């Protein structure tokens, strides 16, 4: 298992270098000195800000030196200072937003798992039934549904017409006056729609994969054996088949991390949630380059952490890997 | 035979018909639209659907139906150009990796991994921040960030084709690498590429509308389904028609491309034939 994990770790490190190269390339996207173009595009950038950018990236030095200098800073989480009026360090700004985005994404992954796995199993065991057909239609709609439109529709229904749920932010105005239980309820109410919206596409995708993975496993010889020795069907499905059918799903959940993190821009913007995604959106609107580059790097690192966790879960779940 | 397998799948046929209809609508937008897309009806701002404006008007009095019809053009052209770019890049990368193998293969595949592990939405937004939002930039950026799937597909096809007899024969008679790749191997690996291109249009349409909705895609006054929805969100409490219609248009478009793509996949993949 350690050999397997070590190999994966080495791969991830190489990927990390690739990511920093790519991010570095983006800042040099524009021909000539990036700062020249920046000032043309954005009259808001003062000569003083431009000077800071030149200093941060060491733009007067050869490109390889620039890259190495930049990597040295990034490793210490020094992404420079934000261009916005408060001029705070980029990492400080990201750090306060990170927990919001990470916890919403974790909640939506849990929701995806809890809904998609049972739905996938039941539609596989009742293949071609009415239930299976309905979930298949649901999956196709789920794939095609623009997340932001779903968000708007749900806001309209539950927030405006029914007035059951709040439609923006994470806390009500009177949050401070609420009791402890009331605070939890308040937060939960604010989270229902964003978590559901960010999980929606994933539920459709994962339940589809769960269904086909289950159908694949059920055809295997060991399932026939389990049935032949007279085990009840529920035991065959939930003990023998499920464990094997879940393996590819773990990998898929890991692979869905970049999509979830990227998607946080959309749902945080719709529901005005003060997380990383909304910060990213604002930094793009204000062309706050140091903040953009910092968020891009952190987003990629989060993805890699997600992939690593998926690998670890996979190794735990699959004895064949553990023994290697 | 192929056509028969495709037409037996009624959903796929429905998807194909809807895609064709969308094209006709986009082409005929100037004829079908009751107003110019930029025409401002100052006396009917935020008017609900009615006789004058079948799908209502937006927050500055433009006709929603007309803007949606012209928006179909934007959506489809972004979808097609972006997918054209990504398919081309993907085929090139996949062909080189699969045909030459070795260090080229390892470099390209590692690059694919890097691209896949950056949240692509973040990457797209970052690039837009530097190059500025416009319909052309959107097409290119979506194309440049979505070629990885095609590259993997083509590489896999090439790996299995490489040792086929007709390829060996072509090499034996002295055909150049370029000729073998372009004349013999690419045409034989097109089936999965076509399927993924059709599905790719669906996701490009979704991406474009999300970007335009966030205000960093197609810029007003050019109409796009996404930027009509921006106004819908701003007026969510008073104007449901601004949100419901353009969103439904996106859903139907993406759904039809997905159905068409899945139908083509089933028709083209011999491994799936026996099942039905």
B134 to chain A: which residues are within 8 Å by CB? none
Nearest to A300 among B118, B129, B254 (CB): B118
The answer to whether B132 contacts A41, with C-beta atoms less than 8 Å apart, is yes
Local confidence band at A50 (pLDDT 50, 70, 90 cut-offs) = low
Is residue A62 scored above 60 in pLDDT?
Answer: yes
Using the Cβ of B237 and the Cβ atoms of chain A, whether some distance falls under 8 Å is answered with yes
**Cα(A194)–Cα(A273) distance, integer angstroms:** 9
Is residue B151 scored above 90 in pLDDT?
Answer: yes
Nearest to A263 among B111, B121, B126 (CB): B121
Q: Looking at A292-306, B73-87, B145-159, which range is the least confident one?
A: A292-306
- Best of A144, A219, A298, A309 to disrupt the B interface (most B CBs within 10 Å) is A144
The percent of residues above 70 in pLDDT, for chain A, comes to: 88
Q: What would the pLDDT profile of B232-261 be if each residue is shown by its tens digit?
A: 888 888 888 888 999 999 999 999 999 998
Is residue A152 scored above 60 in pLDDT?
Answer: yes
Residue bearing tokens 């319909």: B135
Q: What would the pLDDT profile of B106-129 be if each residue is shown by its tens digit?
A: 999 989 988 888 888 888 888 888
A165 to chain B: which residues are within 8 Å by CB? none
Local confidence band at B94 (pLDDT 50, 70, 90 cut-offs) = very high
Nearest to A284 among B125, B229, B252 (CB): B125
Q: What DSSP state is assigned to residue B270?
A: G
Structure tokens at B233: 């969100």
Using the Cβ of B194 and the Cβ atoms of chain A, whether some distance falls under 8 Å is answered with no
Is residue B218 scored above 50 in pLDDT?
Answer: yes
Q: What DSSP state is assigned to residue A240?
A: I
The answer to whether B117 contacts A27, with C-beta atoms less than 8 Å apart, is no
Q: What DSSP state is assigned to residue B133?
A: -
Alpha-carbon separation of residue A82 from A282, A283, B95 (angstroms) = 12, 9, 43
Provide the pLDDT for residue A72. 83
Local confidence band at B273 (pLDDT 50, 70, 90 cut-offs) = low
Average pLDDT over residues B6-10: 74
- Best of A148, A201, A294 to disrupt the B interface (most B CBs within 10 Å) is A148
Provide the pLDDT for residue B252. 93
Provide the pLDDT for residue B160. 86
The answer to whether B114 contacts A18, with C-beta atoms less than 8 Å apart, is yes
Q: Least CA distance to B208: which residue of chain A?
A: A146
| Mean pLDDT, rounded, of chain A | 81
Of the candidates A122, A104, A123, the one whose C-alpha atom is nearest the C-alpha of residue A112 is: A104
**CA torsion angle B263 B265 B269 B272 (round to 10):** -60
**Cα(A104)–Cα(A106) distance, integer angstroms:** 5
**CA torsion angle B119 B121 B122 B123 (round to 10):** 90
Q: CA B140, A151, A94, A262 torsion: positive or negative?
A: negative
Q: To the nearest whole angstrom, how far is the Cα of A181 from the nearest Cα of chain B? A: 30
B113 to chain A: which residues are within 8 Å by CB? 11, 15, 18
A141 to chain B: which residues are within 8 Å by CB? 251, 255
Provide the pLDDT for residue A37. 44
A153 to chain B: which residues are within 8 Å by CB? 243-244, 247
Local confidence band at A32 (pLDDT 50, 70, 90 cut-offs) = very low
The answer to whether A145 contacts B251, with C-beta atoms less than 8 Å apart, is yes
The distance from CA A269 to its chain's CA centroid, rounded to whole angstroms, is: 15
Residue B251 neighbours by CB under 8 Å, 6+ apart: A141, A144, A145, A146, A149
DSSP states of A123-191 = HHHTTTSHHHHHHHHHHHHHHH--HHHHHHHHIIIIIIIS--S--SSSS-TTGGGS-HHHHHHHHHHHH
Q: What would the pLDDT profile of A201-245 be if each residue is shown by its tens digit?
A: 888 888 988 888 888 888 888 888 888 888 888 888 888 888 888
The percent of residues above 90 in pLDDT, for chain A, comes to: 3
The answer to whether B127 contacts A29, with C-beta atoms less than 8 Å apart, is yes
A289 to chain B: which residues are within 8 Å by CB? 129-130
Q: What would the pLDDT profile of A234-254 be if each residue is shown by its tens digit?
A: 888 888 888 888 888 888 888
**CA torsion angle B267 B268 B270 B273 (round to 10):** 0
Nearest to B214 among A19, A261, A281 (CB): A281
Q: Looking at A163-172, B85-94, B146-155, B194-203, which range is the least confident one?
A: A163-172
Provide the pLDDT for residue A57. 67
Q: What would the pLDDT profile of A251-270 be if each residue is shown by its tens digit?
A: 888 888 888 888 889 888 88
**Cα(B192)–Cα(A114) distance, integer angstroms:** 32
Chain B segment 253-272 residues within 8 A of A by beta carbon are 254-255, 258-259
B247 to chain A: which residues are within 8 Å by CB? 146, 149, 152-153
Provide the pLDDT for residue B1. 61
Using the Cβ of B61 and the Cβ atoms of chain A, whether some distance falls under 8 Å is answered with no
| Nearest-5° Cα angle at A94, A91 to A96 | 110
Tally C-beta pairs within 8 A across A and B.
148
More confidently predicted of A44 and A156: A156
Nearest to A149 among B127, B215, B229 (CB): B229
Is residue A40 scored above 60 in pLDDT?
Answer: no
B216 to chain A: which residues are within 8 Å by CB? 281, 284-285
More confidently predicted of A50 and A124: A124
A254 to chain B: which residues are within 8 Å by CB? none
Provide the pLDDT for residue A59. 64
- Best of B75, B121, B122, B258 to disrupt the A interface (most A CBs within 10 Å) is B122
Provide the pLDDT for residue B150. 92
The answer to whether B254 contacts A144, with C-beta atoms less than 8 Å apart, is yes
A143 to chain B: which residues are within 8 Å by CB? 254-255, 258
B117 to chain A: which residues are within 8 Å by CB? 15, 19, 258, 300, 303-304, 307
Total-model pTM:
0.85
Provide the pLDDT for residue B275. 46
Is residue A43 scored above 70 in pLDDT?
Answer: no
């Amino acid at each position: 298992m350690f050999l397997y994990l070590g190999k994966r770790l080495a791969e991830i490190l190489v990927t990390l270098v690739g990511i920093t190269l790519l991010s570095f390339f983006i800042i040099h996207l524009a021909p000539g000195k990036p700062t020249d173009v920046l000032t043309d595009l954005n009259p808001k950038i003062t000569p003083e800000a431009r000077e800071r950018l030149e200093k941060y990236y060491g733009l007067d030095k050869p490109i390889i030196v620039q890259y190495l200098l930049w990597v040295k800073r990034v490793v210490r989480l020094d992404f420079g200072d934000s261009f916005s009026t408060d001029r705070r360090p980029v990492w400080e700004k990201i750090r306060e937003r990170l927990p919001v985005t990470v916890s919403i994404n974790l909640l939506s992954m849990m929701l995806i798992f809890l809904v998609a796995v049972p739905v996938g199993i039941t539609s596989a065991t009742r293949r071609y039934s009415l239930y299976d057909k309905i979930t298949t239609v649901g999956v196709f709609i789920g794939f095609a549904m623009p997340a932001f439109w779903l968000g708007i529709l749900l806001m309209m229904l539950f927030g405006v017409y029914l007035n059951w749920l709040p439609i923006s932010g994470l806390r009500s105005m009177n949050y401070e006056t609420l009791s402890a239980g009331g605070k939890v309820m308040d937060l939960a109410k604010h989270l229902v729609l964003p978590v559901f919206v960010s999980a929606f596409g994933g539920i459709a995708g994962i339940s589809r994969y769960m269904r086909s993975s289950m159908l694949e496993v059920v055809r295997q010889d060991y399932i026939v054996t389990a049935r032949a020795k007279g085990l009840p069907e529920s035991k065959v499905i939930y003990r023998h088949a499920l464990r094997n059918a879940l393996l590819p799903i773990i990998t898929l959940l890991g692979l869905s991390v970049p999509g979830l993190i990227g998607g946080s821009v959309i749902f945080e913007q719709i529901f005005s949630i003060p997380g990383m995604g909304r910060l990213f959106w604002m930094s793009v609107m204000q062309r706050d380059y140091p903040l953009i580059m910092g968020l891009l790097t952190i987003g990629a690192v989060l993805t890699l952490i997600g992939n690593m966790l998926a690998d670890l879960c996979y190794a735990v779940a699959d004895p064949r890997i553990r023994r290697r | 035979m192929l056509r028969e397998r495709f037409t037996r799948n009624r959903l796929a046929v429905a998807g194909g018909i809807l895609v064709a209809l969308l094209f006709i609508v986009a082409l005929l937008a100037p004829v079908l639209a009751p107003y110019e897309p930029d025409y401002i009806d100052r006396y009917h701002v935020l008017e609900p659907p009615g006789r004058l404006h079948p799908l209502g008007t937006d927050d500055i009095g433009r006709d929603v139906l007309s803007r949606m019809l012209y928006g179909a053009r934007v959506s489809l052209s972004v979808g097609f150009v972006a997918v054209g770019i990504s398919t081309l890049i993907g085929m090139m990368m996949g062909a080189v990796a699969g045909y030459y193998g070795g260090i080229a293969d390892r470099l390209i595949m590692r690059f694919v991994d890097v691209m896949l592990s950056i949240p692509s939405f973040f990457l797209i937004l970052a690039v837009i921040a530097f190059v500025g939002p416009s319909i052309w930039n959107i097409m290119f950026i979506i194309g440049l960030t979505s070629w990885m799937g095609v590259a993997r597909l083509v590489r896999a096809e090439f790996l299995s084709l490489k040792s086929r007899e007709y390829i060996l024969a072509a090499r034996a008679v002295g055909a150049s690498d370029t000729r073998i790749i372009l004349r013999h191997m690419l045409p034989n690996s097109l089936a999965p590429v076509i399927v993924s291109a059709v599905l790719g249009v669906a996701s490009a349409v979704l991406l474009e509308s999300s970007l335009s909705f966030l205000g960093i895609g197609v810029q007003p006054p050019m109409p796009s389904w996404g930027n009509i929805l921006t106004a819908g969100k701003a007026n969510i409490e008073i104007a449901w028609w601004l949100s419901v219609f353009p969103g439904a248009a996106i859903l139907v478009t993406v759904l039809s491309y997905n159905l068409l793509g899945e139908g083509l996949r089933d028709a083209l993949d011999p491994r799936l034939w026996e099942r039905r």
